[in-house]
């Protein structure tokens, strides 16, 4: 078994979602984990990865990587952070209705970076954003994405930042102009 398969099998076997893993030339093996959805407590509040979760995964990975003969110098296991990356279709589906920052591989209408509300749209995805004048909709596929991350929602002593939209998945009632990104376009 290769190191990536060993890491993913171990992390998911412990009941966590493996967000990402990377290996540096210096021997650092870095693993980002998250709670499996739905990650809500009894009171409906969001749950987050704790130090104990990271410690549990670290201990198990140390054992598994040794048994599998996977060499590494240092192992780091951590949460993906408030600006969690979206890597796979399941991530996009899980965080539909959330505000994200999206960077496309190729510029669309002279722009690569967008920030708006994510939603599922047929076979692809849609980002609803405001261009300064009116709400716009950008349809895209995962193949067109270079990077996508959640926009952090910070809660200071019960003062939560207000979301940019209504309930999860709902966009503003303003007019939305559709812009379709076609993967076959040469931009």
Q: Looking at 17-31, 68-82, 110-124, 156-170, which range is the least confident one?
A: 156-170
Q: What is the mean pLDDT of the chain?
A: 81
32-55 mean pLDDT: 80
Residue partners of 87: CB distance under 8 A and separation at least 6: 19, 20
The ranges assigned to domains in the chain are 3-78, 89-180
Query: Is residue 59 scored above 90 in pLDDT?
Result: yes
pLDDT in tens, 9-29: 999 999 999 999 999 998 899
Structure tokens at 37: 């959805």
Domain boundaries 3-78, corresponding CATH code: 3.30.300
Distance, CA of 121 to CA of 85 (rounded, Å)? 20
Which string of b and e fits 78-87 if b means at least 16 CB within 10 Å?
A: bbbeeebebb
Domain boundaries 89-180, corresponding CATH code: 2.30.30.180
Structure tokens at 73: 């110098």
Query: Is residue 91 scored above 80 in pLDDT?
Result: yes
- The pLDDT-based confidence of 186 (bands split at 50, 70, 90) is very low
Distance, CA of 7 to CA of 102 (rounded, Å)? 27
pLDDT at 158: 59
């Amino acid at each position: 078994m290769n190191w990536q398969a060993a890491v993913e099998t171990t992390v998911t076997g412990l009941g966590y979602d493996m967000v990402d893993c990377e290996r540096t030339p210096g021997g650092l093996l870095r693993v980002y984990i998250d709670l499996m959805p739905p990650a809500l407590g009894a009171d409906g509040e969001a749950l987050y990865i704790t130090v104990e979760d990271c410690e549990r995964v670290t201990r198990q990975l140390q054992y598994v990587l040794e048994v599998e003969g996977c060499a590494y110098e240092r192992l780091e296991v951590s949460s993906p952070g408030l600006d969690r990356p979206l890597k796979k279709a399941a991530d996009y589906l899980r965080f539909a209705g959330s505000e994200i920052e999206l960077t496309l591989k190729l510029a669309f209408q002279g722009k690569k970076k967008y920030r708006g509300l994510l939603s599922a749209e047929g076979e692809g995805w849609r980002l609803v954003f405001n261009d300064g004048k009116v709400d716009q909709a950008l349809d895209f596929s995962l193949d067109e994405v270079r990077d996508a991350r959640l926009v952090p929602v910070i809660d200071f002593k019960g003062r939560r930042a207000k979301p940019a939209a209504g309930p999860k998945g709902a966009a503003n009632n303003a007019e939305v102009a559709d812009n379709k990104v076609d993967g076959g376009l040469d931009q």
